[in-house]
Amino acid sequence: MTKTEAINEMIQTAKAEVGYLEKNSNSNLDSKTGNAGSNNYTKYWRDIMPSYQGQPWCAAFVSWVLMQAFGQANAKKLLKHWPYVYVPTLAGNFTNYANPQVGDIVMFKHGGIFTHTGIVTGVNGDYFTTIEGNTSGGSSIIDNGGGVCSKGYYNSNLPGTKFARLDWSIVAGQASSGTSTAADIAISMGAKGLTITGNNLNVRSEPGGQIIDELNKGDRIGCDKRRWVGSTCWFHYADGWVSGDYLDGWICEAGKWWYITAGYKYPKSAWKQIGGTWYYFDANGWMMTGWVQDNKKWYYLKASGAMAADELVRTGGKVYYVDKNGKMCFTDSSGALR
C-alpha cells in the first residue's frame, strides 16, 4: 500500500459514512437514519469508547474511520494516542500546520480553543473540503451537529484553525518521495484464479510498461505475485502484468486469504457473499475462521471460511447448533432451542 492508497482508503471509509445521523438512544446504532435524534448516541462511541456514549463525537468519528481503515493498533500509532476523543490532545501531539494537505486531520478553533475536528478530503488553493462527524450541512463550522457531512471552507476565513499531518509510513510501504519501496509480494490462489472485470485490459511487460496483449471481461488468470508502483497495485501472471483495479477473486498471501473486487477494493470488518456462501473478513481484510460475534450474535466459520448454517457444529469438544441464518442457538430452561 502506498501513501496515496492509504490516504484514499481513509477517505473512502469516511465517505461511506456520510448521511449517518446520531441517535436518540442506544438503539439502531448501525442504521444510518433509524432512531435519529439529538442525544449523541452513535456506533462510533459504541466501537471506540462505550462509556462516552451521549457525548459530542466529532473526534470519535475520526478515530473510528482510522480504526476501520487500518485496524486499532495502526490507528493508535497514526494518532499518537488512543482513542482520539478530545481535539486539544491531538493538537498537543502534532505539529500544527497552517495550511492543509489531503489526509490531514483538521482542528477547528473557536474562542481560543480547538473544539471540532474532521478529515481533509480535498485541497484547491485556499479552499479545502472535509468529512466531519457530529456536524450539520452548510458552510459554517458546526461543532455539535447531528450527523456525518461533507463540507468545504476557505482557510483564510478560519483564523486559528490548524492541521495535524499523520505519518503515513506507518501503514504505507513508500518513501516520502511518492515512489513505492515495497518489493514483489508472493501470492497464490484457488483453481479458478482471478476474473477480469473489464474489457480491453492491457497486459504489460512490466508494471506500467509496454503493452504486449489484452484481456477481456470474464477471462481468468493465475497470478504468482503483486507489486505496488505509485498508487497502482500490479499483478503478475504467465504472460505479463495487469492492473489490480480490474480483478475479482480470492488471493492467498502469507498463508491467509483475502478477496479482491474491481477498483482494488476488498471487504474489511464485513460479511461478503461469494458464490452463494457467506464469509467474514477482519479489520485488515483477512478471511476469518472459527467463532465470530457480530451484532451480539455468534456465527461459526468453517476452516474454508464458509459460514455454517442450519447444522451442528462440533468444536472444542462441544456441539452447537446454528440456524439457517448462521446464528448460534441457545436453549431455554426447558431445553428448547431459541
pLDDT in tens, 107-160: 999 889 999 999 999 999 999 999 999 998 765 555 566 899 999 999 999 999
Give the mean model confidence (pLDDT) for residues 15-32.
Answer: 93
Dihedral angle sign, alpha carbons of residues 180, 71, 73, 130: positive
CATH superfamily label, 3-171: endopeptidase domain like (from Nostoc punctiforme) (3.90.1720.10)
Q: Is 35 left (phi over 0), alpha (psi -120 to 50) or beta?
A: left
Same topology, domains 3-171 and 270-329? Answer is no
Question: What would the pLDDT profile of 153-193 be if each residue is shown by its tens digit?
Answer: 999 999 999 999 999 989 875 323 333 444 688 999 988 89
What whole-number distance in Å separates Cα of residue 321 and Cα of residue 297? Answer: 13
> Which residue in the block uniquely carries the three cell numbers 487500518?
70
The full DSSP string for 10-49 is HHHHHHTTTT-B-BSSSSSTTSSSTTB-SS-B-HHHHHH-
Give the mean model confidence (pLDDT) for residues 64-76.
Answer: 91
**Residue 97 dihedral angles phi and psi, to the nearest 5°:** -80, 145
- Computed over every residue of the chain, the mean pLDDT equals 90
Q: Are 51 and 59 in contact (CB under 8 A)?
A: no
CATH code reported for the domain at 270-329: 2.10.270.10
Q: Are 321 and 310 in contact (CB under 8 A)?
A: no
Give the mean model confidence (pLDDT) for residues 311-318.
Answer: 93
Q: Is the pTM of this model over 0.85?
A: no
DSSP secondary structure letter of residue 321: E
Listed residue (141, 114, 121) closest to 15, CA to CA:
121
CATH code reported for the domain at 185-260: 2.30.30
Q: Return the domain boundaries, the chain.
A: 3-171, 185-260, 270-329
Give the mean model confidence (pLDDT) for residues 29-36.
Answer: 92
Q: Are 52 and 45 in contact (CB under 8 A)?
A: yes
Give the mean model confidence (pLDDT) for residues 219-240.
Answer: 90
Q: Are 3 and 172 in contact (CB under 8 A)?
A: yes
- Of 232 and 42, more confident: 42
What whole-number distance in Å separates Cα of residue 129 and Cα of residue 256? Answer: 37
Strand order in the sheet with 194-196: 220-221, 194-196, 247-253, 256-260
- What pLDDT is stored for residue 267 in this prediction? 94
User: Three-state DSSP class for 127?
Assistant: strand
- What pLDDT is stored for residue 229 in this prediction? 78
What whole-number distance in Å separates Cα of residue 147 and Cα of residue 150? Answer: 10
